[in-house]
Amino acid sequence: MSQHKREFKIFSIVEYEQEQEYLRSQHKKGWKLVHLTFPGIYRFEACEPEDVVYQLDYHKEGLGSQDSYVQIFKDCGWEYLFDFLGYSYVRKPVTHMQGEEEIFCDEASRMDFIGRVFKGRMVPLLGMFFLVIIPQTILQASFLKSEPHRTLFYIYVVLFALYLYIFIRFSLQYRKLKQRLN
């Protein structure tokens, strides 16, 4: 049996909880995460099957003081794995936990996390959406009779729909979290 495996899986910005569950289920099957590369290629290493909780934090500012940032996780018993596109990946065996543990101690800290994701990920996407996707979709629509423009139009329509989907999902998650806080 191979000691390593790679899997291609894509999670959107708002699907961090699904990604955490995916990584936990892989570890339960005897595959621990060792590396992640763009565009969503997860590299796993064979291990003893164990229930291990994976958590993600988005904290680009933490990269400036990496040592103290990582030490915070270690002090709380979390194993720091790596950073990928601004997200820090940590894990902790359930057997070392006292009940349900998360790196976010309350809804306010989770809201802070969502705010960091918004500033670091959603603001650039919004800029791309309004400055590139919408104008290009409109521009290409005006040249639909020409084949290259028609193809580009359909590509931009797909991108428009994808961006809209991400914005709606993020907004719904943000609203749901905000309601839990109030």
pLDDT in tens, 69-113: 888 889 989 999 998 888 899 999 999 888 787 887 777 888 888
pLDDT of 63 higher than 80: no
For residues 120 and 165, membership in a common domain is answered with yes
Domain count, the chain: 2
pLDDT given for residue 14 in this prediction: 76
Distance separating alpha carbons of residues 137 and 157, to the nearest angstrom: 6
Give the range of the structural domain holding residue 128, as residue numbers without chain letter: 107-180
pLDDT given for residue 61 in this prediction: 63
For residues 148 and 90, membership in a common domain is answered with no
Torsions phi, psi of 36, nearest 5?
Answer: -140, 130
For residues 10 and 54, membership in a common domain is answered with yes
104: left (phi over 0), alpha (psi -120 to 50) or beta: beta
Residues above pLDDT 70, as percent of the chain: 96
Which of 96, 130, 149 corresponds to the end of one domain?
96
User: In terms of pLDDT, which residue wins out, 8 or 68?
Assistant: 8
Residue 102 belongs to a domain: no
pLDDT of 180 higher than 90: no
For residues 12 and 80, membership in a common domain is answered with yes
